[in-house]
Amino acid sequence: NIKKWTGQLRTLRETIESPPTILITENEKLVIPLISVHNQPSTFATENFENHTVTVEYSTHPSERFDQIVGKAITSEECRVITCNTWFVSYPTIYGSGRYSSGTHRLDYQIEKIGNSSIFFGITSSLEGARENDENDTSVHGWWDLARTVVNGEAEKGDDQKFITTGDEVTLTIDCDDRQIQLQHHQTRRQVELNIDIEYCPLPWKTVIKLGSKGDCIRILE
């Protein structure tokens, strides 16, 4: 039937000239962000075309735990909680168990207790082993609180203002693809970010936390 075939061709041409609308939805209630991409219904020239749904999930590591410890600190609750057990002799350094080489990863922490000193959140290359003194470790990047940035292992000049207090929650975002890390303080909605030079900090990365006062305690949220 030429008339029917001509009508189908006209419909197909209109479909090509007006591509389907894409809806992107995100469930913000999930600890692991979930983005769904849906094609709106479209009419095609033949019945062989079917609508489809594509689901994209950010790669995450819910199994992140406190792993290697340099200095005096103790873990509890299956290594999801770390507590400083020393007085200002040296900052205990705690490395995370995860290894991050691609994708974007969000790690949520709760500050269960913090003293007068700041807490460091950041990353280092997992190719580096645990060090007694990492002051010369150029792969360390991050922040003391949110005020003093550490780049290539060296702390830049900054004020001593403290934003993080007991009970607060922070999120460390590790974006391997864009070579960037971010630290978000939920109570003040303050966020800092830092671009990473992989020449100094090769992938894969692992987390680094340093506690500054005896009794400082941090929990990994799930």
Q: What pLDDT score was predicted for residue 86?
A: 82
Query: What percentage of the chain has pLDDT greater than the value 90?
Result: 59
Q: Is the pLDDT of residue 91 over 60?
A: yes
Q: DSSP readout, 73-84?
A: EEEETTTTEEEE
Q: Supply angle C-alpha 40, 43, 49, rounded to 5.
A: 90
Q: Is the pLDDT of residue 180 over 60?
A: yes
Q: Is the pLDDT of residue 155 over 70?
A: yes
pLDDT digits (tens, 9 = 90+) for 7-16: 665 655 555 4
pLDDT digits (tens, 9 = 90+) for 51-86: 444 333 444 556 899 999 999 999 999 999 999 998
**66-220, CATH topology level:** Jelly Rolls (2.60.120)
Query: What percentage of the chain has pLDDT greater than the value 70?
Result: 68
136-157 mean pLDDT: 92
Q: What pLDDT score was predicted for residue 57?
A: 44
Q: What pLDDT score was predicted for residue 90?
A: 76
Domain locations in the chain as residue ranges: 2-57, 66-220
**What is the rounded average pLDDT for all residues in the chain?**
80
pLDDT digits (tens, 9 = 90+) for 40-50: 333 333 334 34
147-161 mean pLDDT: 89
- Interatomic CA distance for residues 64 and 83, integer angstroms: 17
